Amino acid sequence: MYPQIITYLLTFIKYQDQVIRTLLTLLIGKSMFDKPVEKPVNKPYRKLQVDDLPIIETLQKFDYKLLLNEYQEKNGKPLKPVRRHSNSKTTVPSSIKCPKCGAPSDFLYANNGDKGQYQCKVCTCLFNQKNHYSKEAILKCPHCAKTLEKVKERKDFDVFKCKNNDCSYYQKKQNGLSSKEKKQFKKDPQAFKMRYIFRQFRIDYQPLSKRSPQKPKLDLSRLYVSPHTLGLILTYHVNYGLSARKTAALMKDVHGVSISHQSILNYENSVALMLKPYVDHYPYELSDQFCGDETYIRVKGRWHYLFFFFDAVKKIILSYPVSPNRDTQSAILAIDEVLLKMKEIPKNLTFIVDGNPIYLLAQHFFAQHDISFDVKQVIGLTNEDPVSTEYRPLKQIIERLNRTFKGNYRSTHGFGSDHGSVSFVTLFVAYFNFLRPHSALEGKVPVIHPELLQLPNMPARWTKLIGLAQDWIIEQTT
C-alpha cells in the first residue's frame, strides 16, 4: 500500500508544479524558461600602475635636557616650566611627553583647550595623541613635494595619495584626457588613475637575507631498504610520475620488494628534507633571461599556488615556493629566492611574468629596499601590445614547465599536508635540475655534475645525488 501512496504523492507534486509555473507565466507575461534579454556589462579592471618612489623626509629627534642647557647658556637663565592658571580647566596628563625631544608634561601647553593638541615649550613641536610627531618619516609627492595622505589599508600595505590639485602629475594626467575620456571621467572617476599613489608595505620580511643550511634530523642509512631500492622508488615515483600506490605495486610485482605506499611517502619526505638545502644553495651558472608564473596544486582539499621562477636559457628552476595565497608576499618570496642565487644582481635584470599585479607590487617592494629590476608583463593569450609580442616566447617556456610539472603531479590527486606538497615539489625540482635530460640542451641535463653523469642508470644517480647533498650539508655546518 505504501508504494501506491508514494506514487500518488509524486504525481500530485508534479501536477502542482505545472499549475504554479502556468500561473506565474500568465501573471508575469513571459515564460520562466525564457533567456534573459539583458547582456552582461563588460567592465574591465583598471590596470595597476606603480609610480616612482616618494620623497622621504626623516624626522630629527632631540634631547630636551641638552636643549634646556643650551637655552640657559644663551639667555643666562633657565627655561621655566609652563605656568598654568589656577582656575584653568585644561590640564596636560602626566603620561604625555613631547615626541620630538622627550620633554615631560610640565613643559607642554594645552594648545587648543581640551581638544587634545599640545605644543612643547622646549622645541616648539606641535602634536596630538592621534597624530604624533614620532612617525618614522614623512612621505611627500616627488612631483609637488606635498605631504601624502593615507587613504586605504590593504592586507600587506598602506596606500598613500597626493591630493594636491596643483600637482604637476595630476595636471599632466588631466591635460592628457581626450574629450570622450573627460566625459567618462565625470561619470566614473574611479576608472582613471589621475593622482600620484605610493604603497608602503607592512611586510616583516628582509630581502636577500642569507639562510644557513640546517642539517636534517634524520639518517637515511637507517632506512629499511637498500640505496638501490630507494633509487628505484624515486625513479618510478618522481621521474615517471607514478602514484605511491602504483609505485608500491610495481616494486612488489616486478622487483619482489614488499613495501607499503605510506612507506614510500615517508621516504619521499625524508629525501626531500635532505635535498632541499643542496638544491636551494647550489652555485648555479645563470643567464640573463628569467620568467615566472604560478600554477595550482591541491593541498588538504584546498587550492594552493606553486610559484615557479625559471632560467629560460639554462633550463634551471630557481624558485618554487608553495603558498595558500596568491598574494604580493608570495611573489616577493619567489623573486627573493631567485635573487639569492645570483652572485651579483645585474643592472638590467628583467623578469617576464603574466598580467597579475602582485609582481608589480613586489617590484615596488624591492625598490624600497634599493633593489632594482624590471618586470615585463605578457597579457592574455594574444599579442595585443608590443611587450607581449616581444616576450611571448619566454612566457610560453614557463607555461611548458607548468605542463611538465602537472604531468608528474596529476597522479597524486593532491596532498594531505603542506609538508607533503613541499616534499614532492622539492624532489621534482631536484630531478628537473640535476637528472632530467632536456631536448633544448641537446639531451643534456641543466646542471652538469661529472659524478652523476658517469653512473650507468637513474637509481644510481638518485643515490649519488642524495650522497652529494649529505656531504655538502656536513661540510657547510662544520
**Claim to verify: residue 403 and residue 349 sit in the same structural domain:** yes
Lowest mean pLDDT among 46-55, 151-160, 248-257, 426-435: 46-55
| Whole-number average pLDDT of the chain | 84
Q: Is 376 exposed, middle or buried (0-12, 13-18, 19+ CB in 10 A)?
A: middle
Domain boundary among 95, 126, 157: 126
Is the same domain home to 285 and 166? Answer: no
CA distances from 206 to 120, 201, 262, 335, 413 (A): 37, 12, 38, 13, 35
Same domain, 299 and 366: yes
Torsion angle in degrees (nearest 10) through CA of 153, 159, 163, 169:
-160
Which pLDDT score, from 0 to 100, does residue 91 have?
75
382 shares its domain with 422: yes
pLDDT digits (tens, 9 = 90+) for 334-378: 999 999 998 888 888 999 998 888 998 899 889 888 888 999 988
Whether 326 maps to a domain, the answer reads yes
Is the pLDDT confidence value at 306 over 90? yes
Q: Are residues 194 and 73 in the same domain?
A: no
Residue 134 confidence (pLDDT) above 50: no
- Least confident range from 31-45, 214-228, 230-244, 424-438: namely 31-45
In this structure, the answer to whether residues 461 and 406 fall within a common structural domain is yes
With both helix axes pointing from N to C terminus, report the angle between 244-253 and 261-281 in degrees, rounded to the nearest 10: 110
pLDDT at 221: 57
pLDDT at res. 33: 54
Q: Per the domain annotation, does 293 fall within a domain?
A: yes
Q: Is residue 8 part of a domain?
A: no
Residues 385 and 447 in one domain: yes
* Amino acid letter, 216: P
Q: Please give the Cα distance from 9 to 1 (Å, whole number).
A: 13
What are the backbone dihedrals phi and psi of residue 397, each rounded to the nearest 5 degrees, phi first? Answer: -65, -45
Domain contains 249? no
- Residue 74 lies in domain: 62-126
In a domain, 220, yes or no: no
Last residue of some domain: 180, 199, 218? 199
Residue type at 438 in one-letter notation: H
Taking the model in full, what pTM does it have? 0.71
Considering the domain architecture, whether residues 100 and 183 belong to the same structural domain is answered as no
Residues 181, 280, single domain; the answer is: no
> Where is average pLDDT lowest: 106-110, 307-311, 349-353?
106-110
More confident position, 50 or 192: 192
CATH number at residue 310: 3.30.420.10
Closest CA relative to residue 323, chosen from 302, 298, 306, 301: 306
Verify that 116 and 150 share a domain, yes or no. no
In this structure, is residue 211 part of a structural domain?
no
pLDDT at residue 148 above 70?
yes
pLDDT for 309 beyond 90: yes
Clarify whether residues 425 and 334 are in a common domain. yes
- Banded model confidence at residue 57, pLDDT cuts 50, 70, 90: confident
* Domain presence at residue 256: no
| Mean pLDDT (whole number) for 193-222 | 68
Element (H, E) at 187: helix 179-187
| pLDDT one-digit tens code per residue, 404-440 | 999 888 888 888 888 889 999 999 999 999 999 998 8
Domain-terminating residue out of 177, 199, 221? 199
pLDDT digits (tens, 9 = 90+) for 430-448: 999 999 999 888 889 999 9
Q: Are 308 and 294 in contact (CB under 8 A)?
A: yes
Q: Is 78 left (phi over 0), alpha (psi -120 to 50) or beta?
A: beta
Q: Are 457 and 382 contained in the same domain?
A: yes
For 250, phi then psi, to 5°, come to -65, -40
- Count up the domains in the chain and report the number: 3
Q: Confirm whether 27 is domain-assigned.
A: no
Q: How confident is the model at residue 475 (pLDDT cuts 50, 70, 90)?
A: confident
Helix axes 261-281, 458-477, angle to 10 degrees: 50
Question: 320 falls in which pLDDT band (50, 70, 90)?
Answer: very high
The region of weakest confidence among 5-9, 155-159, 219-223, 255-259 is: 219-223
